[in-house]
Amino acid sequence: MTPIVSGFSKLSKSDKIKWLIKHHFQNDQNAINTLTTYWNSDNKLQQLHDEFTENTISNYYLPFSVAPNFLINNLRYTIPMAIEESSVVAAASKAAKFWQTRGGFKTQVISTLKVGQVHFNYRGKKENLESFFKDIKSELIASASQITKNMEKRGGGIVDIELRDKTTEIDHYYQLHCTFQTVDAMGANFINSCLEQFASFFKSKAVSYQDFSKEEQNIDIIMSILSNYVPDCLVTASVSCPIKDLPNTSELSSIEYAEKFVRAVQIAKAEPYRAVTHNKGIMNGIDAVVLATGNDFRAVESGAHAYASKDGKYTSLTDATIKNDVFSFSIKLPLALGTVGGLTTLHPLVKLALQLLGNPSAKKLMEITAVAGLAQNFAAINSLITTGIQQGHMKMHLMNILNQFNATEDEKKELITYFKTNTATHNKVVEQIEKLRK
């Protein structure tokens, strides 16, 4: 049994590794070699990575790729993507190439409000609490002035604070529902700092509020925290073209292609089992850009999936229509992103990614990221309604299988050529490797 360790975070990196190797890897030197192989040879850069988080013992690599040929609002972009799934970047690039000759992607940021809440218990008359809140609201906002002054200089700050009665859901439960503009910052630290100040001021003012009874003066703050559900931080992206400009093959005419595509999206809108996988494909593209630009993909994921459920049923984030012989495909989702603060000025590849995109504002990054999600979804549905998902996916996965079997460069060349005209499955690849080696 592994012993309990105290003060692990205070050990040096080498001592952390020694402890791990002794108690988890039976002093296996290969484990040490694996960990140290991924250390950066630049000590200063390695120290930077070590200090991003706690108990760092090595670096975990993901491929940093680019998808070119994106025409967005008549400007060309090469989009950075950090992801390990083999077919994602290829699919996004293919969709970008298809739409660049059909008008490209159109985007619009609808709103950029972000939300935080102070959750508290109050055991008294609702009307007394409402009067108290109304009397101190302006002071409440002003109490955070030292926190907000720099944000306000950049055009952001506190937008509003509402008192919300949630007692029908939980006894005595109320909240201060606060909205913010954070401009080019994702704003989590800013929002949380404001919320904690609101909570402190709100509680302290209640103690001396003359219209409260003794019980009402005792407002019990439960917690103060931003929300990653941001339904008012919305962006849309879309593509459209005459139906005659869609793919036309011996299997499917252009109109049949359009109708089948629209039906595939309708299924994702109606069937939650399909919608989850449909939206997962969208997030393949979105997460890859979010990660490459140093943003919080977990927050984006949770917000997007919550938005997909906003009407009481989990459904597709994209929509497709045919009208007047024109095919249209679009996405609308919340994206709380930042281009300043956090890793954006620390991680060298994040800085490079943002530079690649022309050092965009947060709004522009929202648009680019939404396009990546829409492109990914277009490519996935295109495959599903034509060749099937596995043909393209397994060809992209081929190199992973070859590397698992330590294929030589000559073997790789021959097998890549072979599978250009043959369906690649794991068993088939193994079979062909064994044939070559015999």
List the one residue out of 93, 377, 80 whose CA is nearest residue 239.
377
Q: What are the distances in angstroms from CA 400 to CA 86, 266, 284, 325, 405?
A: 8, 34, 18, 42, 9
| Catalytic member of 49, 106, 137, 280 | 280
Catalytic residue, chosen from 363, 393, 395, 397, is: 393
Q: Which two tokens stand for residue 112?
A: 């950029």
Place of tokens 């001021």: 201
- Could you confirm whether 287 is annotated as catalytic? no
Cα–Cα distance for residue pair 314/330, rounded to 1 Å: 18
Q: Is 166 a catalytic residue?
A: no
- What length does the chain have? 438
Catalytic site residue 85? yes
Query: How far, in Å, CA of 19 to CA of 27, rounded?
Result: 9
420: left (phi over 0), alpha (psi -120 to 50) or beta: alpha
Task: Report phi then psi at 431, rounded to 5.
Answer: -60, -45
Close Cβ partners of 412 (under 8 Å, ≥ 6 residues apart): 399, 402
Q: Where are the beta strands (DSSP E) in 23-84?
A: 64-72, 75-82
The tokens for 109 are: 């940021």
Which 3 state secondary structure label does DSSP give 388?
A: coil
Diameter of the chain measured on Cα atoms? 92
DSSP 8-state assignment for residue 407: -
Q: Which two tokens stand for residue 386?
A: 């034509």
Is residue 296 annotated as a catalytic residue, yes or no? yes
Of 184, 287, 296, 367, the catalytic one is 296
Q: Which strand (E) or helix (H) includes residue 308?
A: helix 297-308
Residue in 18, 49, 85, 256 annotated catalytic: 85
Q: Which residues pair with 120 in a beta bridge?
A: 174, 221
Tokens of 181: 């503009």
Residues carrying an active site annotation: 85, 280, 296, 393
